[in-house]
Amino acid sequence: MSDFDIVIVGGGIAGASLGARIAAHARVAILEAEEHCAMHSTGRSAAFWLAHYGGAPIIPLTIASRRPLEEGWPNGERSLLHQRGAITIGKEYRHLWDAMSVETDAAPRRQEIKRPALEALIPGLRAGWDFGLLDSSCADIDVAALHGGCLAEFRRAGGVVMTATPLVRARRQNDSWKIEAGNDRLTAATIVNAAGAWADTVASRCDVPGLGITPYRRTIVQLRVGRTGLKDLPLVIDGLGKFYFKGESDNRIWVSPHDETASEPCDSAPEEIDVARAIDHFESVVDWPVEAVERKWAGLRSFTPLRVPAFGFEPTADGFFWCAGQGGFGIQTAPAASAVAASLLLGEGPEPFVAHIDPRPFTPRRYG
Ligand SMILES: Cc1cc2nc3c(=O)[nH]c(=O)nc-3n(C[C@H](O)[C@H](O)[C@H](O)COP(=O)(O)OP(=O)(O)OC[C@H]3O[C@@H](n4cnc5c(N)ncnc54)[C@H](O)[C@@H]3O)c2cc1C
């Protein structure tokens, strides 16, 4: 008999949220290479929920995740969202067209605004930024509470979390996987690949071909500025996709230069050029004096070639399931994505709140 029915590789939000959904149904372990499960992308996000983000196949996952996040899934203790609102801005009306192109009845309607309404929402907005698209539904997500809640629920239902235990190699023998992980030897009927930037590496360690999942670096810089009252400032997004920023505290801002540089899977670190670009863009939008760069970090957003996550069994190998390629939306989609993935993994009907979501776009190797 196998030690486990299912071994999930990766303890970030993908592995933890799926684990929370399935631990009561099977004997499950999460293998995490690091000492802590949120060391990589999950611990480095900008932590927002944005309805239209990621394009058509992602929007239903984001929208279906809203209610569970409001209700504090999985433990239901308190809402994990804090309403913020978002404004996409442009110097010309056509700069908003890309943002408008993903308008859909499935997501909350956005409202076109101009100065002076725009200036009232973003005080100190420099001249020329005349056009805006307001999305009041945008919210901050308490990522630590969501991720910690998933791991707690996973353990409560009998799941085993093994940190500092990287999957080194796995071979399929007699309908089960023989797994070398750190100093441990395990067997499991099914391996779930939720290894984020390392998803293709983990596949290759299991003799499974990769999906072409590529990690891209994204940088965030925390600035202290000579202006107060910024904590609940709307998320400000450039219509041309060159930056975004949001208030972090009364006089602190998180700014991203929206970088997307292909990277090896690694402990990602910011490049000075991206930090400089972030500050440059920020100063071109508002007149708030930059007093200090207090923190900077980078993380990896990992995409399949078509930028749609892969949830489902690998067609070329028995007992190998993909839960990878969550790009820049892995947190905001986690409640629904984990429910879709759990239904495919366990072969059971979907939970009612995701029953309307067609899982076929997420089929691994659907496009090649
Ligand atoms: C700067 C930035 C901003 C972002 N902002 C947002 C946002 O506002 N909203 C949003 O929804 N999303 C956002 N994202 C995206 C989000 O962070 C990711 O989609 C999500 O965290 C991916 O989760 P994951 O579990 O797949 O990856 P990870 O959190 O990276 O987890 C994968 C885990 O697998 C482990 N692992 C790797 N190899 C092995 C192995 N061989 N054995 C065992 N374990 C292994 C790793 O150590 C890692 O802990 C952002 C990302 C970045 C970088």
For residues 165-176, give the mean pLDDT: 97
Residue 103 has pLDDT above 80, yes or no: no
Give the distance (Å) from ligand 1 centre to CA of residue 116: 39
pLDDT in tens, 51-76: 999 989 999 999 999 999 999 999 99
> Residue 107 — very low, low, confident or very high, per pLDDT cuts 50/70/90?
confident
CB 259 near ligand 1, within 6 Å: no
Give the distance (Å) from ligand 1 centre to CA of residue 41: 3
Give the distance (Å) from ligand 1 centre to CA of residue 6: 20
Instruction: List alpha helices for 81-231, DSSP H.
Output: 97-100, 117-121, 143-156, 199-205
Tokens in use for 358? Answer: 């067609």
147-156, 181-190, 239-248, 358-367: segment of lowest average pLDDT? 358-367
Give the distance (Å) from ligand 1 centre to CA of residue 122: 31
CA dihedral 146, 148, 151, 157 (to 10 degrees): -80
Name the phi and psi angles at 267, rounded to 5. -80, 90
CB 166 near ligand 1, within 6 Å: yes
Give the distance (Å) from ligand 1 centre to CA of residue 326: 8
Please report the pLDDT score of residue 111 as a whole number: 92
Q: Report the distance separating Cα 155 and Cα 140, nearest Å.
A: 26
41, 154, 183: which to mutate for ligand 1, most atoms within 8 A of CB? 41
CB 244 near ligand 1, within 6 Å: no
Nearest to 342 by CA among 6, 59, 85: 6
> Residue 93 — very low, low, confident or very high, per pLDDT cuts 50/70/90?
confident
Q: Which residue is associated with the tokens 């400089």? A: 276
pLDDT in tens, 270-325: 999 999 999 999 999 999 999 999 999 999 999 999 999 999 999 999 999 999 99
Average pLDDT over the chain reads 96
Please report the pLDDT score of residue 368 as a whole number: 44
Q: Report the distance separating Cα 353 and Cα 73, nearest Å.
A: 13
